[in-house]
Amino acid sequence: MPQKQKSKSWVDLKQAGNESFKTGQYGEATNMYSQAIKELEKSKKNPEDLGILYSNRAASYLKDGNCAECVKDCNMSLELFPFNVKSLLRRAAAYEALERYRLAYVDYKTALQIDCNIAAAHDGTNRMTKALTEADGLSWREKLPPIPTVPLSVREKLSQKTTANAVQQPNPTPQHNGTTQTNKPTPSDKDMKKGQILKEEGNALVKKGEHKKAIEKYSQSIKHNPTEVTTYTNRALCYLSVKQYKDAVRDCDEALMIDSSNIKAFYRRAQAHKELKDIKACVDDLNNLLKVEPKNMAALKLLQEVQKKK
């Protein structure tokens, strides 16, 4: 008689979900997070852990364009883990996609009470202000739902935890979900120096047109220093050159987690999306780039080119 297979723990299932999310398999990530939620609900463990799982699944739904389910999961997450920044940003992005701009504005403003340095929340607030002014005129604030006040104790606790718990949101477009925060460990001085040397060796290989060898050097550099944004954008350029477009997208995702307004990361990811025939994602990246640098000629030219293909 065959032995009954032992079911995976919620921690293993969450990790599997995180891995699927990182590689762009959002349906599989949703499935893994759903199983993890079931396992954790059985054990009645820490509600914050459950809140994070709902938030992670919400991120997968958002990536797949299932904004209604994303909102539901963020609501659950925020009940279990009040004022979780990632859940607020994901729900805001979903509301924005659903054109529920007042609710999106409230969530972006709430997130800024917790951490006033979140670029995504500032950008979102500005976009919602513009949309609501166009819709309701100068009296738009009078029609807003109340914005909750985040208690100081919660702000202090969450500002410490916000980078430590939830799965990272690799792609801050189309609704700016990312922040400039990243939970990568800070490298030692020795590792930073070694990483810099390897990066420069990679740069020299790029100048010679040896992109595959450069990729190896950049990969070694990243092992020593995973916090250097230009190493990812440089390796993304090499991946574009050797037609490994999905790898280029992943490197740009990493770069935008470190610097949410990085011009090169937006542009190179747009190029990769174009080659992958994902015109919507390409246009989103170019529009986000142009918000940072409105007169970027390369982006304007590429945007004009891809819009003809729509």
Q: How many beta carbons lie within 10 A of that of residue 126, not counting itself? A: 12
Domains of the chain and any CATH numbers: 10-161 (1.25.40.10), 189-309 (1.25.40.10)
User: What own/partner pairs with CB < 8 Å and gap ≥ 24 does 60-66 have?
Assistant: 60/17, 60/21, 60/26, 60/27, 60/29, 60/30, 60/33, 61/26, 61/30, 61/94, 62/90, 62/93, 62/94, 62/97, 62/175, 62/177, 63/21, 63/24, 63/26, 63/171, 64/26, 64/27, 64/30, 65/97
Confidence band, pLDDT 50/70/90 cuts, at residue 160: low
**Which residues fall within 8 angstroms of residue 155, CB to CB, at 6 or more apart?**
113, 114
Assess whether pLDDT exceeds 70 at residue 159: no
User: What is the rounded distance in angstroms from the CA atom of residue 126 to the CA atom of residue 121?
Assistant: 9
User: What one-character DSSP code corresponds to residue 117?
Assistant: T
Residue indicated by tokens 């800070």? 186
Tokens describing residue 41: 């609900």
Mean pLDDT to the nearest integer, 155-167: 53
Environment class of residue 48 by beta-carbon count within 10 Å: exposed (0-12), middle (13-18) or buried (19+)? Answer: middle
Dihedral in degrees, nearest 10, Cα atoms 155, 161, 166, 169: 70
pLDDT in tens, 118-147: 888 888 888 999 889 888 888 888 889 998
Mean pLDDT to the nearest integer, 201-205: 92
Give the max Cα distance, the chain: 73
pLDDT in tens, 2-44: 444 456 788 999 999 999 998 889 999 999 999 999 999 887 6
Environment class of residue 215 by beta-carbon count within 10 Å: exposed (0-12), middle (13-18) or buried (19+)? Answer: buried
161 or 27, which is more confident?
A: 27
277 or 6, which is more confident?
A: 277
Q: How many beta carbons lie within 10 A of that of residue 275, not counting itself? A: 14
Using DSSP, state whether 29 is helix, strand or coil: helix
Assess whether pLDDT exceeds 50 at residue 238: yes
Tokens describing residue 276: 């992958």
225-245: burial string, b at 16+ Cβ within 10 Å, e else: bbbbbbbbbbbbbbbbeeebb
Model confidence pTM above 0.75: no
Confidence band, pLDDT 50/70/90 cuts, at residue 58: very high
Tell me what pLDDT residue 31 has.
95
Tokens describing residue 114: 């917790």
